[in-house]
Amino acid sequence: MKITVIGAGNMGGALIKGWAKAAQAGKADLDITLTAHTQQTLDKFSTLYPELHTLLNNREAVKDADIVVLAVKPWLIDSVVAEIADNLDGKIVVSVAANARNERINIYAMPNIGAEFGQSMTFIERNDQNSIIAVEELFSLVGSVMVVDQKHMGAGMMMAGCGIAYVMRFLRAMMEGGVEMGFYPKEAQQIAMQTMEGAITLLQETGLHPEAAIDKVTTPGGVTIKGLNELDHAGFNSAVIRCLKAGLK
């Protein structure tokens, strides 16, 4: 399958690297072309993955593609689509841009930068086009995929696309607490990351609800409940809910 990714920044770049790794691992037969605004960006990818085709010319880059993935900033979507429109017949056009619509786009997808490591949580907007199956397969190569109605795309973006940033803030807060209690930042980061990984693995392996897992570490009258109640008094749950809803239109 021939894929062209227009825009090789944080998101496009993560997808390109994830797909390049999947192709190297023999998970799919992908022929990947990418474009960017500057040669400097393209050179970084050719050095890492010499098998990729890199071009500064978007029109040329989409000519032979089966699937074109638009990964430029939302305000550039219309001009990029206008630029390549003549070369899009018979191709599936996918956009990962947040809150940008264009009639030439067939499928809207919302991945996250975990794609680079095969760990994206990607939302694909449900529609009746047959092409959605090919797009689902493509994004499944770089993580989990959920097909949702248009009304849930914004929530998906906030929880998973932006969610990476929110999880980082929680980690940083844990680290700051750890440093105040006497750990070096590197040690505090290792502790926070390993604890988060352990918590996630616990839920994945047991299928437990988070509150049931909390019961496992909470002794009546013990120290865990004191910390949990401090979080409640400070409005932690409410802050997280408000954070997720803040970006919805």
State the residues that interact with ligand NAP by CB under 6 A.
6-12, 35-38, 41, 58, 71-74, 76, 80, 96-98, 110-113, 161
CA distance 38 to 146: 33
- Tell me how far, at minimum, the Cβ of 35 lies from ligand NAP, in Å: 5
DSSP conformation class of 113: G
Closest to ligand NAP by CB, 13 vs 178, is 13
CA distance 58 to 83: 7
- Tell me how far, at minimum, the Cβ of 176 lies from ligand NAP, in Å: 24
DSSP conformation class of 218: -
How far, in Å, are 37, 52, 66, 68, 133 from residue 90 at the CA level?
25, 23, 8, 11, 16
Tell me if residue 145 falls in helix, strand or coil.
Answer: strand
Closest to ligand NAP by CB, 33 vs 112, is 112
- Tell me how far, at minimum, the Cβ of 43 lies from ligand NAP, in Å: 10
- Tell me how far, at minimum, the Cβ of 1 lies from ligand NAP, in Å: 21
Closest to ligand NAP by CB, 115 vs 132, is 115
Please spell the DSSP secondary structure of 59-73, one letter per residue: HHHHTT-SEEEE-S-
- Tell me how far, at minimum, the Cβ of 64 lies from ligand NAP, in Å: 17
Closest to ligand NAP by CB, 67 vs 188, is 67
Closest to ligand NAP by CB, 19 vs 178, is 19
CA distance 42 to 36: 6
CA distance 133 to 24: 22
Closest to ligand NAP by CB, 165 vs 240, is 165
- Rounded to a whole number of angstroms, the CA Rg of the chain reads 21
- Tell me how far, at minimum, the Cβ of 77 lies from ligand NAP, in Å: 7
Q: How many CA atoms lie within 13 A of 169 on its CB side?
A: 9
